[in-house]
Structure 1
């Protein structure tokens, strides 16, 4: 409805103007030498409008001709830009596919079409890396670090190349530079953490993670390498705070307390740990190394009373009884451990020793939750996959296990 009304109004205005022009009185006379042209005023006005229109068209055509070279150059530049972007896209796909030749070809074409842009430099660096050209890769990434927007990728590439070449100090410098170029990067933090662990700088590594299982493992390792008993105690407390039920952390805390001369607190920690997570590490920290076999058997009875009937309690009692030559007790507790579910061979080893037979192989005591590999000794990082804090007791009944990660 509104469109129809609008059309009617415009048509009425046009008709009114046409009527007004047609009704103009008089005529227009033009003299040109011996010629005289006389025309009515409405016709003269229409001719004037036509001349103005033609002049406008002429000027627009003239302007278009003047702009034509620039427009043609812009069109060609647009085509080059589009072709260069396609080359970059093909290069990205080639890098992802590990195609060194394809990446190199795409980088060369992109450089020809787009020039030495930061993105082209990155593609050239990745192509050189895939081709195994170490020096070219390093130079390309160093050039990329001069770009304000892409310097993080430059330092990232140099860090990876340094690690590949075993240049740990250089890798650490590149990690710091990458952090400065892109603060808070999870990738950079992970690389710095891995470098710190590799160099056994566990105290520094602690500042780079908030994951409880990683913090617990790093704190235990830091406590083991602490220069003073006070530092060892501080790190051990951090480990227990991160994972209160970890037998590794509790054993580390007990050792640190013992190193500070706090025997009562150390024994209290071990008793608490045995109640919630019985484990051979706690037993080893409980038994005095200079005690007689009989004294160790008596001490084992005190500790196992915190968790009577548990498989680890029975194994501890059986092993100390065997050492003290209490054969009847050793046999009874070994049998109780088997009934409690011991399958790692320790109970069978006690019985074999009593019968004078060769001891069976003892299964590894630790298992990685990330790669499922087994390990004989605990370490802050898995010896197989290198993941932090993933080693847990291999046998579910041997201790209260923390939540698996991975």
Structure 2
């Protein structure tokens, strides 16, 4: 619509000008070569416009002729760029499909045609990674640091390469450098996991607060991470600074009331201070959600001077928090056995050894062996339970990324992930196990990627030796 209005306005102006010239006739005189030429004003104006048009055409042709070399250069560069981007596209497809040979070939072509282009450098780095050439990949990522638009991408690539070659200090340096440029989820997580693996709980807690404030981590996840780190801090300082450990454990339980390690530390330290009621309440809350043997042990030992009968009463009170749990029956049976209530121990264990209940666990078999030994001494039934224990089903344990551990740890020894350990029953085909000792919480080294093989419980080893000796005697 605007263009139509402009066109009409131009037409009106031209019509007005022609009308004005018609109403004001005049002449134009030109003397050239001694000869005088006289024209009307309208003719002179038309001649002037024609001359300007001719000069414009001549200048355009001359300018085009003069620009032919540069135009040819631009056309060549354009074709070169188009070929480079085509090679770049084909290379990206090859990388995505896992075709290392084509990826490397297209990356070389794109680098030749698009010298210094950040995307060509990225393709070259990815093709090197796909081919297993880690050294070249690092060199390309280092070159990408020179380009501001690819600096964070290069730092992430260098971080991944440092992780692959098991260089935690270099990986941490790259992650921290990326954090200084921009708030990125991967770098924030990497730095947080590194601080946790080093046992620097204060720094890790500050990073969690920063990530929550920067909306990298949602508040619910941040609270869980804080609880885990506070529990790790409590375990780390429990022996040398009980008050700090108790405060940290309480803070952790405010965020995660059923977090077993925090409940164990808090219950033990409160019991040591004589605050039995608070300790039992904390243990009961956690035990209602997760029936862990450490919780039961702290609960039964909350008052050191209690008799075996008192501990049996406590075991019954704890069992009421989770009456159908296997752990509750095991705890009650052991407490009854300590109180010499053999019949009660057998009655409590009866549902666990019922054939319809499936294969009994190792702890169940060992508890039945204890009951047989306490009631009848060394008999065939005792040896039978010891033999069944050697091939019994697995009891629940702490599991993280395929690693089975006897003790809880805040960080996975495989991936460095925080809050990776869960209390559950391992699968029978899961043989990779690792024992985490309390000293690992205070260590200042990154998590080992190779797991140690955990030894079986001493009691189970004794059971196996007893079965072997019994077989020799027979």
TM-score where L is the length of structure 1: 0.76
Match of 1:400 in 2: none
| 1:388 paired residue number | 418
Q: Deviations over 1:132-171 (max 9, x none)?
A: 2232222222232233332222222222222211222222
Distance of aligned partners of 1:273 and 1:41 in 2 relative to their CA distance in 1, 3 Å threshold: closer
**C-alpha displacement at 1:205, in angstroms?**
3.5
How far did residue 186 of structure 1 move? 0.8
Higher mean displacement: 381-390 or 226-235: 381-390
How much has 1:125 moved relative to structure 2?
Answer: 2.5
Do 1:365 and 1:375's aligned partners in 2 also have CA atoms closer than 8 Å? no
Distance of 2:314 and 2:139 partners within structure 1: 67
Q: Which runs of 5+ in 2 are unaligned?
A: 209-220, 373-380, 426-474
Please point out which of 245, 254, 264 is paired with 2:258: 245
RMSD of aligned alpha carbons: 4.1
Q: Which residue is 1:273 aligned to?
A: 283
- 1:401 maps to none
- Whether contact under 8 Å (2:283, 2:295) holds in the other structure is yes
Paired residues of 1:24 and 1:41 also in contact (CA < 8 A): no
SS at match of 2:229: helix
Residue of structure 2 in register with 1:126 after alignment: 126
Whole-Å separation in 2 of the counterparts to 1:169 and 1:137: 19
- Return closer, same or farther for 1:246/1:100 CA change in 2, 3 Å cut-off: same
Unaligned runs of 5+ in 1: 396-406
Whole-Å separation in 2 of the counterparts to 1:41 and 1:143? 70
For 2:295, the equivalent position in structure 1 comes to 282
The answer to which of 40-49 and 95-104 deviates more is 40-49
1:177 shift after superposition: 1.5
Q: Given that residues 279 and 302 in structure 2 are in contact (C-alpha distance below 8 angstroms), is that contact kept between their aligned partners in structure 1?
A: no
Counterpart of 2:181? Answer: 181
For 1:180-211, what per-residue CA distance to the aligned partner results, in whole angstroms no more than 9, with x for missing partners?
A: 232x2110122223334444545544444453
**Structure 1 residue 297: Cα displacement:** 4.4
Structure 1 residues 377 and 177: alpha-carbon distance in aligned structure 2, compared to 1, 3 A threshold: same
Q: Which residue of 1 aligns with 2:216?
A: none
Q: In the superposition, relative to structure 1, how do residues 276 and 55 fare at CA in structure 2: closer, same or farther (>3 Å)?
A: closer
Partner of 2:323: 310
CA distance in structure 1 between the aligned counterparts of 2:299 and 2:265, rounded to whole angstroms: 12
Would the aligned equivalents of 1:315 and 1:337 in 2 still touch at CA under 8 Å? Answer: no
Residue-by-residue CA offset, 1:224-282 (whole Å, 9 max, x unaligned): 22253234223322321221123332112223445xx41325x5223442255243221
Q: How many aligned residue pairs are there?
A: 388
Q: Which residue is 2:145 aligned to?
A: 145
Residue 254 of structure 1: aligned partner: 267
Secondary structure of 2:194 counterpart: helix
Confirm or deny that 1:319 pairs with 2:318: no
Task: Report if the CA contact (8 A) 2:319-2:332 is conserved.
Answer: no
Name the CA distance, whole Å, in 1 between partners of 2:9 and 2:136: 74
- Normalised to the residue count of structure 2, the TM-score between the two structures is 0.67
